[in-house]
Chain A
């Protein structure tokens, strides 16, 4: 299957499968032609779910799951927004 169709299939699966519901991941290919999924996920459970979904898509079974969980930092100081006096 041509890559463009495979990428579309994988994107649709990651978005619509209830285990993932992820619409913002990136899909690229290594020089050797292996698919790689990258981007942030919310939890280790969601990371594992990405692998499960990839295994269920024909042609994407050997894709690498390089998604990662990024911990949130503490909130920054507030930004001042000056109102428009009317």
Chain B
């Protein structure tokens, strides 16, 4: 069994020092790995990343993270990433890593992801260059997810995103902004190659539980959705009969 803690949309601000550390001090006992699903900072300012780094300083478990749209807003993504990495956070952007916990292995592929919409309402890369550019990153994320999931030889496989791969976990948000909250382009490689759990944030007004069309559990672990500092999951192998 591997125990995960997950949270998204922390939106750390320079005036928010100490908001999370009281909760995070419990995590070493409750989880084996902490997964952060983007929007770690409010405006993507390095000073905000420093606040989060100091909040996470006492943790000894591995911390894996993806960035969110707020983390790139002020164009300081390299600095934000470097500050978090200096604090021991493994930042995944179309990247994957494998962690071993008590003899079991966990493969995590992470990417911010991007929008595009879902199913019949999914935008196509047609027409203006701006539309093609809009979808370019979503397709690149999907390709990275496919590559990692198809190559993992681990006991468990988790996909960590900021944007959602399914519409179900967006319920509660305005339907008109769904194309900016995620895309089924991200969901397809997950169902094709398989995973045990998908985690995302971004949709503050969304719904916690969902499932891909192929039956893989998806959890919106945005803190405003959870109303708690993180969610806990136990990944277990089914009992062989």
Interface of A (DSSP majority class): loop
Using Cβ atoms and an 8 Å threshold, which residues of chain B touch A46? 13, 15
Q: In whole angstroms, what is the CA distance A28 to B82 when docked?
A: 40
Residue A79 is within 8 A (CB to CB) of chain B in the complex: yes
Interface residue ranges of A57-77 to B (CB < 8 Å):
70, 72-77
A42 touches B16 (CB 8 A): yes
Q: In whole angstroms, what is the CA distance A19 to B60 when docked?
A: 33
Residue A4 is within 8 A (CB to CB) of chain B in the complex: no
Residue A78 is within 8 A (CB to CB) of chain B in the complex: yes
Using Cβ atoms and an 8 Å threshold, which residues of chain B touch A39? 204
B224 touches A24 (CB 8 A): yes
Q: What's the A-B contact tally at a CB cutoff of 8 Å?
A: 86
Q: What is the chain B residue whose CB lies nearest that of A16?
A: B73
B217 touches A81 (CB 8 A): yes
Residue B235 is within 8 A (CB to CB) of chain A in the complex: yes
Residue tally, chain A, CB below 8 Å to B: 26
B227 touches A73 (CB 8 A): yes
Using Cβ atoms and an 8 Å threshold, which residues of chain B touch A77? 232
Q: In whole angstroms, what is the CA distance A23 to B240 when docked?
A: 47
Residue A82 is within 8 A (CB to CB) of chain B in the complex: yes
Q: Across the A-B interface, give the 3 residue pairs with the lowest CB-CB distance, nearest first.
A: A78-B232, A24-B204, A21-B42
Binding site for B on A (CB under 8 A): 18, 21, 23-24, 39-40, 42-43, 45-46, 70, 72-86
